[in-house]
Amino acid sequence: MSDNPDMKTTAGKIENLGNLLAQAAAPMGEDVAAATREAGRLTARDRVLRLVDEGSFVETDALARHRSKDFGREHDRPATDGVVTGYGTISGQKVCVFSQDVTVFDGTVGEVYGDKLTKLYDLALKTGVPVVGIYESAGPRVQEGIVTLAMYSRIMARMTAASGLIPQVAVVVGDNEGMAAFPPVLADVVVISQDGALHQATPKVVEQVFGDADATVDKLGDAAVHATESGTAHLVADSDAHAIDVAREVLEYFPANNRAEAARTAVAPMAGSIADNISDADRALDSIIPDEDQAAYDMADVIRGVVDEGSFYELSAEYAPNLITGFARVEGRVVGVVANQPMVQAGALDTRAAEKGARFIRTCDAFNTPIVEFVDSPGFIPSPEEERAGLLRRGAKLAYAFAEASVGTLTVITRKAIGPAYVMMGSKDLGADLVYAWPTADIAVAQASVAAEAIYGEPTDEQVSDYADKHMGPYLAAERGLADAVIEPSATRGHLIEGLRLLERKITPANVKKHGNLPL
């Protein structure tokens, strides 16, 4: 291509278009793009092309440029205005995608940039496809003034409108500070790379206000902070390339929108009775619960022993590890899994676990994903710290989310379902469609020693033992219909398959109201 095509001819005009699109492909020049790659990172465009299926990306607004004239900026107008937008496919499913370009004005959001993102969201909402956002931005473009904050308002309004209608995945691959750190949190799933960070305050401001000279980006909001302390990140990746790959993986468990179902994998369906389909692998579950009441076991082994082989995909593994959340497949069908983890705090619930579980349940319910709960918990952690941290308000979110869910819900009680844990973890009267209890289950209002003390004051060992024999176990719950069946652990997969088949037909009429008042 020539630098000066003949604009009086059709060929020249087409050549000029090629020149302009080439500029948009590397708005700051090929040298800058090459330097980014040499540093071991992908460019904003590289990230998009890695995310979508090969050859599927269709760019929108590639030739957009800002129109600001203040501070001499009319002479610095790179194409794309700092964000690559468009649509393509991931594993054949249509998606809209944007990728912030930190090499253009530090990835800051200006008026045209904001227009590009709101247009993309409008397109995704009209067509009912997921949005994947790749984030690396220094925040509002100060040179363009207050309009940049208006753009953030519009972007967050669009993300709110999209919530529960189309899946949103945020991929955080660089530093995002100030206003730029808020939009990713509105996504259904947040993936953060080791180079990524989200923080409202900057280290400089923290030092000025609080005199803390040790404040750093890492301390304010790196991957470790959001994976283990704040709970903002659901998945952590080693690099920006890995984060893109993780986003592709997690989208496999989502449908296109709230009126669709996630794609099923091809598996041989169970044929015949549940008993006829129990395998040697299933029978391993019959010995997974220790004979010693206080001994721990790994609930993840139970989950993997029940779901399709290799299908369990855990989210938020490092945050509130006493509660397991993640996606899996049962007979090729996507399900959401919520489970107590006896290996951590004996499976006891706390404020973090309750919020983690509630958020995940609502995500599943929004996108037609049945929920399977595995229960082994003695209740909530009894501590002054937990009470002051808002245990009642935050704990109630777990019950609210489950009771509100309209998708199919199945509960498997493996061992303890005591007191509030019984209620919160998918109890029959909270809304569970089907409740199964293993013979090892203890379903009771309180631990035997606590209940006996409430009854007898100072109970003898014999009274405690007598209470446990008569009032613990799964059979009183089964007599009262609080458990639909007491099943052998090895039959769990078969019961879940049959239950999920039935619940495909579940219809729950919606109440006429604007929305409930979740105790946020």
DSSP string, 232-267: --SEEESSHHHHHHHHHHHHTTS-SSTTS-PPPP--
What is the full per-residue pLDDT of the chain (520 aa) written as tens digits? 667 888 889 999 999 889 888 888 888 889 999 999 999 999 999 999 999 999 999 999 998 888 877 776 776 788 789 999 999 999 999 999 999 999 999 999 999 999 999 999 999 999 999 999 999 999 999 889 999 999 999 999 999 999 999 999 999 999 999 999 999 999 999 999 999 999 999 999 998 999 888 899 999 999 999 999 999 999 999 999 999 999 999 999 999 999 999 999 999 999 999 999 999 999 999 999 999 988 999 999 999 999 999 999 999 999 999 999 999 999 999 999 999 999 999 999 999 999 999 999 999 999 999 999 999 999 999 999 999 999 999 999 999 999 999 999 999 999 999 999 999 999 999 999 999 999 999 999 988 888 888 888 888 888 888 888 888 889 999 999 999 999 999 999 999 999 999 999 898 888 888 899 999 8
User: Which residue reads 């045209």 in tokens?
Assistant: 112
Check residue 1 and give its pLDDT.
61
Non-local (6+) Cβ contacts of 362 within 8 A are 401, 404, 405
Which CATH number, 2.60.120.200, 1.10.3720.10, 1.20.58.1180, 3.90.226.10, labels domain 42-252? 3.90.226.10
Whole-angstrom Cα distance, residue 467 to residue 449? 8
Q: Count each helix (H run) and each strand (E run) in the chain, helices first.
A: 19, 16
Q: Hey, what's the torsion of the CAs at 454, 455, 460, 466, to 10 degrees?
A: -120
Burial tier of 191 (Cβ tally within 10 Å: 0-12, 13-18, 19+): buried
Whole-angstrom Cα distance, residue 208 to residue 205? 5
Q: Does domain 289-441+483-503 have CATH number 3.90.226.10?
A: yes
Burial per residue of 407-438, b for 16 or more beta-carbon CB atoms within 10 angstroms, e otherwise: bbbbbbbbbbbbbbbbbbbbbbebbbbbbbbb
User: Which residue reads 């379902």 in tokens?
Assistant: 417
Query: Whole-model pTM?
Result: 0.94
| Sequence ranges of the chain with CATH classification 3.90.226.10 | 42-252, 289-441+483-503
What sign results for the dihedral spanned by CA atoms 363, 368, 374, 375?
Answer: positive
- Terminal-residue alpha carbon distance, the chain: 58
Whole-angstrom Cα distance, residue 337 to residue 354? 14
Check residue 471 and give its pLDDT.
83
